Structure 1
Amino acid sequence: MSRIEPIIVPDSAAPAGHYSAGVRHGGLVYVSGQLGVRPDGSHTADRPFEEQVRTALANVLRVLAAAGLGPEDLVKVTAYIVGVGNWPRFNAIYADVMGAAKPARAVVPVPELHYGYLIEIDAIAACRDDAL
């Protein structure tokens, strides 16, 4: 049986709760829900939606990079957004950041998120042979 290995993300804010930013297990990396928290731990909850999206996506990519992966390795992304009206703006930023990567995805409208954020993103990525 393979071990569950926490992903350590250098130069990033430590998780605010009892969880890892990401874990590797069985050839997959699971990225915990990422808010728009900057690497220094400061929040973007009071900033525009677009800035929150870019920061949350950057955090997802930061966890992947710490695992030796990139957006092309993503298998599934789930975005939780406050306000279904934010969906088109999310989609445009997501497409810009992800480029050619098109993992399976769900966008889930929710009534509210922790700390007053408007977006939270989690993900699953497949490890490449050279990233195991």
Structure 2
Amino acid sequence: MPGFLEIIDSFCTKDSEVATSSSFKPEHRQSVLYHLCSPEDVELGNLLVKPNPLLPPSEIAVEYTKEKYGSIPRYYIKGIHDVLMPVAMQDYLLENNPPDGVLELPSDHSPFFSTPDALVEALSSIATSLK
């Protein structure tokens, strides 16, 4: 697979030379986002995908408190076949910001397309546990 910067398009606002958003190039989306999806879902995903905003580090730095951030139950759904965010990266993020629970799906980065029934089951399980 090509390097990350080779598979994304960056976009700037008219007043800036610094990228303010990015998106995967159409020819790379299936291999990165939808590699376990049907051709129909790949087509739908390509129609729905929008550029992601890029924030400067000063706007990303957030202080998490038990009173605010910690007061909301958080669960993480891990896609074990995700190539955009491999399991090792997901595990690193989970170790550094542990949720209340982790559910694993045999999905790519887009479980709503690749494993929708398993995703619904996982979300239902989370909802039931919160009752």
Q: TM-score range by the shorter chain?
A: under 0.3
TM-score after normalising by structure 2: 0.27
TM-score after normalising by structure 1: 0.27
Q: If each structure's strand is expressed as a fraction of its own residues, which one has the higher value? A: 1
Q: If each structure's helix is expressed as a fraction of its own residues, which one has the higher value? A: 2
Larger relative contact order (CA 8 Å, sep ≥ 6): 1
